[in-house]
Amino acid sequence: MSEVTADYAEWIGRQETTDDDLSPTAALAAAAMLDDTQTALEAGSALPPLWHWFYFLPRAPQALLDVDGHPQRGGFMPPIPYPRRMFAGARMRFHHPLRIGQPARRVALIRDIRLKSGRSGTLAFVSVLYCYYQDGRLCVEEEQDIVYREPGPALACPRVLDWPPLPANACARIVTPDPRLLFRFSALTFNAHRIHYDRPYAIEEEGYPGLVVHGPLTAVLLMELLRREVARPVQEFSFRGLAPLFDLAPFRIVCTTLNERQCSLEAQAPDGVTAMSASVELAPL
């Protein structure tokens, strides 16, 4: 057992239950942010995949926020001392669509806490399983990887280069991540992490060259590209963040069809580096 796991062993197995009525309000706001005027979002409609992130929101009192804007640790999440926090990736399985306007429940379970050494220093990985239920049945399973790391050196501004040519079976979209988009996503997810809206803090305290694009926002944009290009229900989705994106230049999202049931997704930084990779398994025909 690693030192971090030993120190926080009592958090492994900890559970938290959150209820939400899935009001159409949040879905309509998300659609406005994404310029989606086509999806039906009235009561009873299926919630698009990944839009469950706009519900079951944390509601920590203002007095219990830490200096970075996150809720202070030591409640559901373990009080790991490393100051940098990242949503590094997730794996999901969609069994049934969640329905807008119908009560739902999320049950969270801390499955594991691990310590690793990386190029930027020591990292602690917290694995959290989220299960979403509605009408007594399991609708969505999601396992998230949350990473805490020590402070590292400041990051340089990304270079702007030509993106590589697209393969024949791929489609793409250019995203301009301006502060308005980042602010609206922070508001919709009730995320007060200052790296997404407080430029002096992001640069001077956490060493980023600009505002940081939320990992979940990038994942949502990847899923939206897939949803607009492939008219098939998603059965499984997984993604991994590989490098941060910033509001300093546009980035490209790409969807590549591998076969009739599998697609790969990628967010490419302005210099062509893969910032996020994702894989999708579609429901059978």
Question: Can you tell me the distance from the alpha carbon of 48 to that of 42, in angstroms, rounded to the nearest whole number?
Answer: 12
Which letter does DSSP use for residue 45 in this model? P
Strands (E), 51-203: 84-94, 104-118, 121-134, 137-149, 170-175
Longest dimension (CA), the chain: 53
User: What is the per-residue pLDDT for 1?
Assistant: 43
**Domains parsed from the chain with CATH numbers:** 1-151 (3.10.129.10), 153-285 (3.10.129.10)
How many residues appear in the chain?
285
Is 220 in contact with 214 (CB distance < 8 Å)?
A: no
> SS3 for 6?
helix
Is 120 in contact with 30 (CB distance < 8 Å)?
A: no
The reported pTM is 0.94
Is 127 in contact with 143 (CB distance < 8 Å)?
A: yes
User: What is the per-residue pLDDT for 12?
Assistant: 92
Question: Can you tell me the distance from the alpha carbon of 195 to that of 192, in angstroms, rounded to the nearest whole number?
Answer: 9
Residue 195 to residues 5, 84, 138: CA-CA distances in angstroms?
Answer: 28, 10, 34
User: What is the per-residue pLDDT for 120?
Assistant: 66
Question: Can you tell me the distance from the alpha carbon of 202 to that of 69, in angstroms, rounded to the nearest whole number?
Answer: 12
Q: Vertex 65, ends 105 and 150: CA angle to 5°?
A: 100
Over the chain (285 residues), the average pLDDT of each successive run of 10 is 65 94 97 95 96 94 89 82 87 98 97 81 90 97 92 86 90 96 97 96 94 97 94 94 95 93 95 95 89
